[in-house]
Structure 1
Amino acid sequence: MNRPLFVSLDGPKGAGKTTLLEAITKVLRADKQKVIRLCEKKSDPFRAETMALVNTLARNPGRDLEWQVCQRLADSRAWISRHVLTKQPADSIILIDRWYPSDAAFRRIVPFAEIVQLNLDRNVRVPDLHVGVVTAPEISWARAAARSRGLGSTVLHDLEEHVACTLGFEQGVADHGWVLCRNEGTLEEATMQVVSEIYRGFPCLLMN
């Protein structure tokens, strides 16, 4: 491989995505793979300004303002694509916590497909493997609500919106042929599903 393998994990609040990402990292590193863990929001130098706009949107929802948020986030991902992803070792596996599928599923007005296309038009790097991590909405909602920081969302405010977000992820995965990981069983089962998908899609990794 002449560039890092790029894998994104996206999912609704409380789907266990970050815990799963940590478990995948552990397994891959045990296999002697070089794994780089990234988080979109922590890699975005413009996040504070964008979140100020998101907070405004939460108080005054509307398509024009939501589209501005989507544009800003796509521009940030284009920046990350150029200035962060390209700096990683060519023989590494990049696992990123959220990418544009999350943005597409969380928005209430701008359609999923338009947000995906916006990111492509901005030359945001397309992951080599998209993984959508979901559970039944009632399960992930209860998990998120039970966390010490609570739901922690400026976008979702009730179960109905969370259900719509979950359905958005599932439909996006189906429409684009991404990998769907239902994280309702054991952590080991979900972990090995994603690790198997990585090795199945990129058997050259097994030769390292």
Structure 2
Amino acid sequence: MNRPLFVSLDGPKGTGKTTLLEAVTKALRADNKKVIRLSEQKSDPNRGETMTLVNQLVRSPSRDLEFEVCGRFADSRAWISQHVLGKQPTDSIILIDRWYPSDAAFRRTIPFAEILQLNMDRNVRVPDLHVGVVTNPEISWARAAARRRGLSSTVIHKLEEHVACTEAFEQAIADHGWFLCRNEGTIEDATMQVVSEIYEVVNCHLKECLAMNALAK
């Protein structure tokens, strides 16, 4: 590959996504892989202004305002694609905590197909591997409740909302063929699932490159 492998980990709140990202990073580095860990939230230059709109949307829901929020997130991802992802070493594996698949869980009015198109129209980088991290919503709700920061969500406040969020995300995984990682068991099991899939994608890319080189000769 002439650019880094790009892997996004997305999912509802409380599914253990960040813990899994840390474990996957450790496993890959133990295998001497160059891993770059990023967070969409921390890389977004417009996060503060967008979250002001998200808070406004929670208080006064409207389709127009949600569409504006989706567009602003897409604009930020386009900026990250160019100014952050585009500057990483070509021999690295980029693991990002959230990308546009997460909108399938948290946006309530705009269909995900429209959100996806907003991102594609802006040339947002498409991950080489989408990992959807999910659990039974009652499990993730309980996990979040046990954390010091709680659910830590601007848009989800009730179990029923969390259940709907999880169901919507699982449907998006099925519709778009993302890799499903169920994280109800041990972190070791979930880590093995994701690492194995990353290596599968790496091997597919290598085979494609070898085939292209053979054709060029």
TM value normalised by structure 2: 0.93
- What SS does the aligned partner of 2:89 have? coil
* C-alpha distance in structure 1 between counterparts of 2:121 and 2:138, whole Å: 35
| 1:63-82 mapped onto 2 (5 Å cutoff) | 63-82=63-82
Higher mean C-alpha displacement, 102-111 vs 197-206? 197-206
| 1:180-191 mapped onto 2 (5 Å cutoff) | 180-191=180-191
Asked if 1:165 is matched to 2:179, the reply is: no
State the AA in 1 paired with 2:35.
V
Partner of 2:211: none
Partner of 1:138: 138
| 1:51-200 mapped onto 2 (5 Å cutoff) | 51-200=51-200
- What SS does the aligned partner of 2:95 have? strand
* C-alpha distance in structure 2 between counterparts of 1:13 and 1:204, whole Å: 31
CA apart distance, 1:140 = 0.4
* C-alpha distance in structure 2 between counterparts of 1:68 and 1:130, whole Å: 24
- What SS does the aligned partner of 2:94 have? strand
* C-alpha distance in structure 2 between counterparts of 1:167 and 1:28, whole Å: 30
CA apart distance, 1:151 = 1.3
- What SS does the aligned partner of 1:157 have? coil
CA apart distance, 1:120 = 1.0
Structure of greater Rg: 2
* C-alpha distance in structure 1 between counterparts of 2:25 and 2:205, whole Å: 14
* C-alpha distance in structure 2 between counterparts of 1:114 and 1:7, whole Å: 22
* C-alpha distance in structure 2 between counterparts of 1:104 and 1:169, whole Å: 5
State the AA in 1 paired with 2:163.
V
Runs of at least 4 residues off by over 2 Å: none
- What SS does the aligned partner of 2:131 have? strand
CA apart distance, 1:204 = 7.4
* Structure 1 contact 104–116 (Cα < 8 Å) conserved: no
Partner of 1:12: 12
* C-alpha distance in structure 2 between counterparts of 1:88 and 1:10, whole Å: 21
* Structure 1 contact 112–168 (Cα < 8 Å) conserved: no
1:69-122 superposed Cα distances (whole Å, 9 cap, x missing partner): 000000000000010000100000000000001122201111122111211111
State the AA in 2 paired with 1:18.
T
State the AA in 2 paired with 1:184.
E
* C-alpha distance in structure 1 between counterparts of 2:21 and 2:189, whole Å: 13
State the AA in 1 paired with 2:176.
H
- What SS does the aligned partner of 2:7 have? strand
- What SS does the aligned partner of 2:140 have? helix
* C-alpha distance in structure 1 between counterparts of 2:46 and 2:107, whole Å: 19
State the AA in 2 paired with 1:158.
K
**Root-mean-square deviation (Å):** 1.2
* Structure 1 contact 104–113 (Cα < 8 Å) conserved: no
CA apart distance, 1:51 = 0.5
* C-alpha distance in structure 2 between counterparts of 1:146 and 1:57, whole Å: 27
| Identity score, percent | 80
Residues 1:148 and 1:205: Cα distance change in structure 2 (over 3 Å): farther
* C-alpha distance in structure 2 between counterparts of 1:205 and 1:124, whole Å: 20
